[in-house]
Chains A and B, each alone.
Chain A
Amino acid sequence: MTAMAIQVRGLSRSFVAGGRTTPALLDIDLDIADREFVCLLGPSGCGKSTLLNVVAGFLRPSAGEVLVNGRPVTGPGADRGVVFQEYVLFPWLTVAGNVEFGLRLQGAPSDDRRRTVARYLELVGLTAHAAKFPVQLSGGMKQRVAIARALANNPAIILMDEPFGALDAQTREVLQDELGRIQRVEHKTVLFVTHSIREAVYLADRVVVMTSAPGRIKQVVAIKLPDIRDRFAPEFTQYESEITRMVKEEVAKVHE
C-alpha cells in the first residue's frame, strides 16, 4: 500500500441551528494517496465543502477523524494550503506580498523569498502584475494569485474549495488548463471540491461522487485518461455522462 497523504476515518459532521441538529456528513471513509488529485463532486448542500473544511482544520468532526500523513488534524496548518472560492487575498498586500505571505512567516531569507515569488508568479502568468493590489485585479487574476500563494508556501497538500466557481466559463477553462499544467510540474496531493462534472473529469485522478444531504460517498470513479486531456475525446464524454447519471439521481432525490 502506498503512503496515504489524507485518511478520512468514519467522519461525521452535523450542524446545530435553532436547537435542531442537521447532519451534513455521515460516516465518510476516504483515503487519498500522495500526489493524487481527487475531486469531490455532488449536488449543492451535499457537504462536500464541509468535508474540505474538516480536512483543512477549519471545522471539527462530530465523529471520526482525519489523518494527514498519519497524524490527526487538530487545526489549520501550513502543511495544507487552501484555495477559496472567493479568493480571500490580503487586500493590503500587493500580488507579490500575498504570494510571499507564507514565506515571510517561515522566516525565509529575502533572496529566497524573491526567487520563490518570481517563480510562482511566472507559473501563473502574473509576473507583470507583481506590484498591483488585489482591487486592481480581475477574478481570474485574483484566483491565480491565490493559487500561487498556496503553492509558494510549498505544502504537500492543496485543498481547493470550488476555486473556479465564481469565474466565467471561458476563464474557468483557461484556469483548468493552467491547473492541469501546474499539477504536472508540482505534483501536489489535491482535494478539489466542485459541482462541475466536466471540471472533475478534466482534472481528477479519482472523482468522489457524494449523495445529497446528509453527504455520504455514493461512488468513487477512477478516471483512466492520459495526463493531458481532451474535453472532446469520446472517452472523456463517456466519463462525463456516466458521472452525470450518478449526480442526477442525487439531485432528483432533493426534489422528491
Chain B
Amino acid sequence: MLLTSVPAMMEWGLHGEPLPPARALRWRLAALLVFVLLWSFAGGLVQLTRPFNPLFLPAPWVVLGAMVELATKGQLWQHVGATLERVVIGFAAAAVLAVALGLLAGQLRLVRNVVEPVVELLRPIPPLAVLPMFIVWVGIGEGSKIGFITYATFFPMFVTTVHGVTQLDVRLLRAAQSLGAGRSALFFRVILPAALPEILTGLRLGVALAFFVIVISEFIGAEQGLGYLINDGRNFFLVPQMLGAAVLLGLLGYAGNAAVRLLERRVLRWQRPR
C-alpha cells in the first residue's frame, strides 16, 4: 500500500500498516495465482497460434507433467537429494568455519589483522571465477562441489560475524564485568548473544548464496542434481525439465530462507517481543 500521509508514515513507518496474517497470506496466494494464470494463458496461446515452436514456452501443466514423470521414475528425488546434500554440507561447513573464525577475528586484533586483508582481497572475486580452479585442484567430484559452496558462502558469514562482534557496545562488557563476569562468561553471555543478530543475517545471506552457486557447479561434470537437470535439459532440448528444475531450486531456496527466518524469530524474540 502506498503511504500518502505523514501521519500514516509516523504511525507505521515506510512499511505501512501491517495486514492481518490471514489477509496477507490471501494476497500472496492471489498474486501467485495471477502469475501462474498469465503463464498458462501465454503457454496456451502459443500452443494454439504457434507463432514459434511451443517447445520454447511450455505451459505450467507441461512443466508439472515433466516433473511428475521424473518423480514417478524415481529420478527426481535423487536429483533433489544430491543438490540438497551438497548445499547442506557445504553451507554447514562454511557456517561453522566462518562463525568460529569471525568470532575469533572479532575479538583478537592479531587474528583480524592477519585474516581480514586476505578475505578483503578474495571477497570481491566473483566465486564463479574461481570454480575452474576448484575443478583443476580438487577434480569434478563431490569434493569440489561441496568445497566450492563452502568457499563461496564463507565470505558473507565471516564478514557479518566480525562486524557483529566489533560493533559490540563496550558498556555491556563493563556492566558484565562489574557483575563478576570473567573471560569465558563475557564471551558466552555477552559477546555471543550481542553478535547473534548479525550472525543470523550472515547465515541468511549464506543460504541464499549456496543455492545460487550450486547450480553452476552442477553444470560442470555432474551426473545428478538440479543444476545437472537444467544442463541436461539444454543439451536435449527438454525445456519443461529446465523450467521445472529451476522452479524447484527456487522453492528450496525459499524454504532455506524461511528456516533461517524462523530461527531468527525464535532466537531474537527480544528485538520484537509479543
Chain A positions within 8 Å of B, measured between CB atoms, are 56-58, 75-78, 80-82, 84, 86, 88-94, 101-102, 104-106, 132-136, 149-150, 153
CB distance from B190 to the nearest CB of A (A): 7
Q: Is B179 an interface residue (CB 8 A)?
A: yes
Q: A84 and B180: CB pair below 8 A?
A: no
Closest to A82 in B: B178
List the 10 closest pairs (A to B, CB-CB), nearest first: A78-B180, A102-B179, A76-B177, A82-B178, A133-B270, A92-B193, A88-B171, A88-B175, A105-B180, A92-B270
Interface range, B side: 20 to 34
Q: Does A77 contact B180, Cβ atoms closer than 8 Å?
A: yes
Q: Which residue of B lies closest to A56 (CB)?
A: B178
Which residues of A have CB within 8 Å of B169? 88
B273 touches A82 (CB 8 A): no
Residues of B within 8 A of A56 (CB): 174, 178
Given known A90-B172, A92-B193, contact A153–B273 (CB-CB < 8 A): no
In this assembly, does B185 line the interface, its C-beta being within 8 Å of a C-beta of chain A?
yes
B21-34: CB near A (< 8 Å → 1, else 0) gives 00000000000000
Using CB atoms and an 8 Å cutoff, list the residues of chain B in contact with chain A: 169, 171-172, 174-181, 185, 189-190, 193-194, 196, 268-274
CB distance from A148 to the nearest CB of B (A): 12
> B55 → chain A, closest Cβ, in Å?
55
| CB-based A-B contact count at 8 angstroms | 73
Decide yes or no: A90 and B193 within 8 Å by CB, A84-B171, A132-B273, A135-B273 being known contacts: yes
Partner of B176, one of A58, A80, A101: A101
Closest to A97 in B: B270
Q: A88 is contacted by which of B172, B181, B193, B273 (Cβ under 8 Å)?
A: B172
Q: How far is the CA of A101 from the CA of B189 in the complex (A)?
A: 9
Cα–Cα distance between A28 and B196 once the two chains are bound (Å): 43
Q: Say yes or no: B177 contacts A92, CB within 8 Å.
A: no
CB distance from B152 to the nearest CB of A (A): 31
Which of chain B's residues has its CB closest to A89's CB?
B175
Nearest Cβ on chain A to B204's Cβ, whole angstroms: 19
The distance in angstroms between the C-alpha atoms of A135 and B194, with both chains bound, is: 15
With A77-B177, A86-B171, A101-B176 known, 16 other A-B pairs at CB within 8 A are: A56-B178, A75-B177, A76-B177, A78-B178, A84-B171, A88-B175, A89-B175, A90-B172, A92-B270, A102-B179, A105-B180, A133-B269, A133-B273, A135-B272, A136-B273, A150-B178
* Cα distance A133–B269 in the bound complex, in angstroms: 9
> Using Cβ atoms and an 8 Å threshold, which residues of chain A touch B175?
82, 84, 88-90
Please indicate which of the listed interface residues B176, B270, B273 has the most CB atoms of chain A within 10 Å of its own CB: B270
Cα–Cα, bound, A191→B176 (Å):
19
CB distance from A189 to the nearest CB of B (A): 15
Contact of A101 among B179, B194, B274 (CB under 8 A): B179
Q: How far is the CB of B73 from chain A (nearest CB, A)?
A: 50
Output the residue of A75, A76, A86 with the most chain B CB within 10 A: A76
Chain B residues positioned under 8 Å from A57 (CB to CB) = 177
CB–CB B171/A149 < 8 A? no
* Residues in chain A near residue B271, CB distance under 8 A: 91, 135
Name the B residues within 8 Å of A58 (CB-CB).
174
B178: A residues at CB distance < 8 A:
56, 76-78, 80-82, 150
Closest-CB distance, B48 to chain A (whole angstroms): 59
Find the B residue at minimum CB distance from A136: B273
**Which residues of chain A are near B196, meaning CB under 8 Å?**
92
Q: List 21 A-B contacts (CB under 8 A).
A: A56-B174, A58-B174, A76-B174, A76-B177, A77-B180, A78-B178, A82-B174, A82-B175, A86-B171, A88-B172, A90-B190, A90-B193, A92-B193, A92-B196, A92-B268, A93-B270, A101-B176, A134-B270, A135-B273, A150-B179, A153-B179
